[in-house]
Amino acid sequence: MAVAPIPETRTTTSPPPTPATPGPAVEAVALRKDFGPIHAVDGIDLSLPSGRIYGLLGPNGSGKTTLIRLLTGLASATSGTARVLGVQMPSRENLAHIGYMTQSDGIYPELSVWENLSFFAALYGQTDRAALHRSLALVELDSRAGTPAQDLSGGMRRRLSMACALTHHPAVIFLDEPTVGVDPALRVQFWDHFHRLAADGATLVVSSHVMDEADRCDELLFIRDGHVLAQGTPGELRKRVGTDNLETAFLSFASQAASPRAAESAASPRETAR
């Protein structure tokens, strides 16, 4: 397929400057989200300093996606407070400083790779063509700029979604299962880039249910049934339960947390969170 010519872009207003945040980059206070009888997020407290990669680790249905949606302001909390860069969410203005890669591909299938990228970049005032080309090069789609997104493979669509989420250089980045469907070599490149972003001061919150990615994070939050079971560096969490295996550590924390709630669960079984 012949590559369509890349259109010229116009200069637009740059996004507002990132708010000064002496406090945590991401914060939650008694955050709760109920769907009827389902406690998807069950009173979570968080305080995450900037410049680090935080892994939300837990099985499918543990509440990771709902927590991210609350923190980004895309879902309303039943109770509690979420703040990003010191600003209470939801906040339309604060979205200019937030990147969010959803679990499903948030792109327009009829638009080309370049059209998708430039559209999302323009929403944030990003019109630097060189920066857009670098975003495509990062996800190895620079040679497919003119290809309609619907003609890409599933893994390529995931890569395009990531480029769209990062193209405006957000200060806080939420990535929901970002490496699903990505080949192992490119997954390593992604994580190398995540670490460079954190070294430059960005804060990344990465959800996953794959334990072998956990060691790539600076700090982990084990989540199950809408609760944070444990938080710390991978080494700290292993040490606390006396194991070299993070999966074993997670199961140990889950077992410890289940015991005090056994009577409650027997009386009123918990339904699976999203």
Q: Residues 32-69: pLDDT tens digits? A: 999 999 999 999 999 999 999 999 999 888 999 999 99
Q: Which candidate, 96, 213, 105, 194, places its Cα nearest to that of 153?
A: 105
pLDDT at 20: 56
Judged by DSSP in three states, 105 sits in coil
Q: Is the pLDDT reported for residue 78 higher than 50?
A: yes
Classify residue 274: in a domain, yes or no.
no
Q: Is residue 3 part of a domain?
A: no
Q: Give the SS3 label for residue 261.
A: coil
Name residues whose C-beta falls within 8 Å of residue 110's C-beta, 6 or more positions apart in sequence: 148, 149, 150
Distance from the first to the final alpha carbon of the chain: 40
Domain range holding 124?
26-267
Q: For position 250, which CATH number holds? A: 3.40.50.300
Q: Any bridge partners for residue 232, and if so which? A: 220
pLDDT per position as a tens digit, 208-261? 887 778 899 999 999 999 999 999 999 999 999 999 999 999 999 998 887 655
pTM value is: 0.84
pLDDT band at residue 2 under the 50/70/90 scheme? very low
Which residue, chain included where needed, has tokens 């980059």? 25
Provide the domain count of the chain.
1
**Does residue 60 sit within a domain?**
yes
Residue 4: pLDDT band with limits 50, 70, 90: very low
Q: Which residues pair with 142 in a beta bridge?
A: none
Type of residue numbered 67: L
